[in-house]
Every structure is written in structure tokens, then in C-alpha cells.
Amino acid sequence: MQKKFKIEESVIVNNGVKEPNLGEFEIGGWQGRIIKIDKKRDKGRILITIEWDSLTLKQIPSAYIEQSENDGYDWQNMILYDSDLEKTKSRDNRAFVKEYQDVLKEKYKWVSFGVQGSRISKVLGATNPNDEMECLRKWVEHLDKKLNFSY
């Protein structure tokens, strides 16, 4: 029997379901809201796009976000089959989701740059990447420690 899902409805991923792109991450128990339903059927199943809720975002492994960033996958949303999901009660609201997405975007801003991004992140630390003057100050501080110009 086909399950009837609606946009904005909260869902939970069934146990045993693996992340479809990277394949090594168990995502059973992750929760979110439906943001898109693709009526085209794939092997008799409907594709559903889920935006993870803030509680799921807080427990997603760093390794998953880093690998997703490096491979160009979206870690905030996921497309799954309707057979992988069950309806559930909402645990938060969109404001909490947006707030925590912003926190994670800031934290993993440099990851997609690979090894260089890792080095940049170490130099800048918790500096707000949008604060250009503070970033420049951190770079000058770092270069002063690392470079020695003898005359």
C-alpha cells in the first residue's frame, strides 16, 4: 500500500536505511520535513526530498558533512524513497532549522577547499569569515609567527 505524504509533513527515516550518495552512513532515525514530492515513480516508489530538522542536524557526524562538502552533496537535504520513511511528529520549527544550518555552514565553510581549506580553517579558527578585517588580522598574526625576513 502506497503511503500518502504531504509537503511540510514531518518524517523519520526507517532503521537500516543508508545514505544514498555516500552509502556508508546509516541514517535510520534521522528526521526532517518534506519539502518536495516527485510524483514520477522510480521502480513504483515516489522520490521525496527532506530537509533535516535542527535536532538531526545537531547529531549528524562531522565526517558526513565533510565528505558531503568535498564530494559536492547537500548535507542539509536528502532525496529518499517514500518506502524509506514514516510520518512522525515535528520536533522543532523552521526558524530553529535555519539557525542551525547557518551555524554548520559557518563551521564547515572551508571544508570544500580540501587540504587548503583545512589549513585556512586552522589559521582563522572561530573567526567570522565574513569579517574581512578580522580575517586579515589573523593572517598577519599567523604570517608574523611563521615567516622570518632577515635583512
pLDDT (tens digit per residue) in 87-111: 999 999 999 999 999 988 888 887 7
Find the radius of gyration of the CA atoms of the chain: 20
pTM greater than 0.85: no
Q: What is the mean pLDDT of residues 64-75?
A: 88
Question: Between 85 and 149, whose confidence is greater?
Answer: 85
The topology (CATH level 3) of 1-92 is SH3 type barrels. (2.30.30)
Q: Could you tell me where in the chain the CATH 2.30.30 domains are found?
A: 1-92
Q: What is the mean pLDDT of residues 39-53?
A: 86
The runs of H, that is alpha helices, within 8-93 are 54-59, 62-71
Q: Show the cell assigned to 100.
A: 542551525
**pLDDT at position 42:** 67
Count of beta carbons in the 10 Å neighbourhood of residue 56: 21
Three-state DSSP state, 40: strand
Cα 102 vs. chain centroid, distance in angstroms? 10
Q: Show the cell assigned to 147.
A: 615567516
Residue 2: band (very low, low, confident or very high) from pLDDT cuts 50, 70, 90 = low
Q: Give the list of residues 6+ apart from residue 66 with CB closer than 8 angstroms, or none.
A: 108, 111
**pLDDT tens digit sequence for 52-68:** 999 999 999 988 998 88
E strand segments, 53-113? 77-81, 85-87
**pLDDT tens digit sequence for 108-151:** 887 777 778 778 878 887 777 778 898 889 888 888 888 887 77
Q: Which residues make beta-bridge pairs with 77?
A: 51
Q: What is the mean pLDDT of residues 68-87?
A: 92
Q: How far apart are CA 128 and CA 104, in angstroms?
A: 13
**pLDDT at position 92:** 94
**pLDDT at position 56:** 97
**pLDDT at position 48:** 95
Q: Give the list of residues 6+ apart from residue 6 with CB closer than 8 angstroms, or none.
A: 34, 37
